[in-house]
Amino acid sequence: MAEQYTNRTNRALSFARIQLKQLEQAAESGGWSQELEVSAFEAGIAFHLAVALHAYRREIAERYSLPTETIDTLEDLIAAQQTQGQSTSEATEFEVLAETPDSWLNQLQQRYAQCWGAKPSKPSRSSGSSEISLVQIEPGRAAAPELPLSTLYSELYSLISRQRAAMQEW
């Protein structure tokens, strides 16, 4: 079963790449179902990138002889490494990305979370209410623009390629 997670990672990245091409075609189609097709491809790409990320975490665990079945999140990978007295540059790089609020990794995880549905709506207040809704604005900090899915794919692909090359050197 060696390399099973490498194969899963590669397959998920391939699926995402295929759907990126289909997304481009759907965006240019202009048909009556264009919006639906674009949304479907965007959700599919986010899903496959999340699967690739999940499989890659397990690939790292497999490479360092850690128990792979328990690795679902970055925290799981770090905990497994600490249990074995290990610390890897791969997990450290993921940690740095996870701690950066507007990183491509966090944007990818947010896009994937959006696939799982809308947040439950709050019950509407009667129109006679005199309450004024306030919006918290953080001074001096504009929200980072949402990265396109093609950029998220490229960032994940290059990170995996670079880290795999470094792991092979060991």
Alpha-carbon distances, residue 84 vs 65, 77, 79, 88 (angstroms): 9, 11, 9, 11
How many other C-beta atoms are found inside a 10 Å radius of the C-beta of residue 166? 13
Cβ-contact 50, 109 below 8 angstroms: yes
pLDDT of residue 157: 98
- Reply yes or no on whether the pLDDT at 126 is more than 70: no
pTM metric for this prediction: 0.82
Kindly report each contact of residues 39-42 with a partner whose C-beta sits within 8 Å and lies 24 or more positions away, as own/partner: 42/111, 42/149
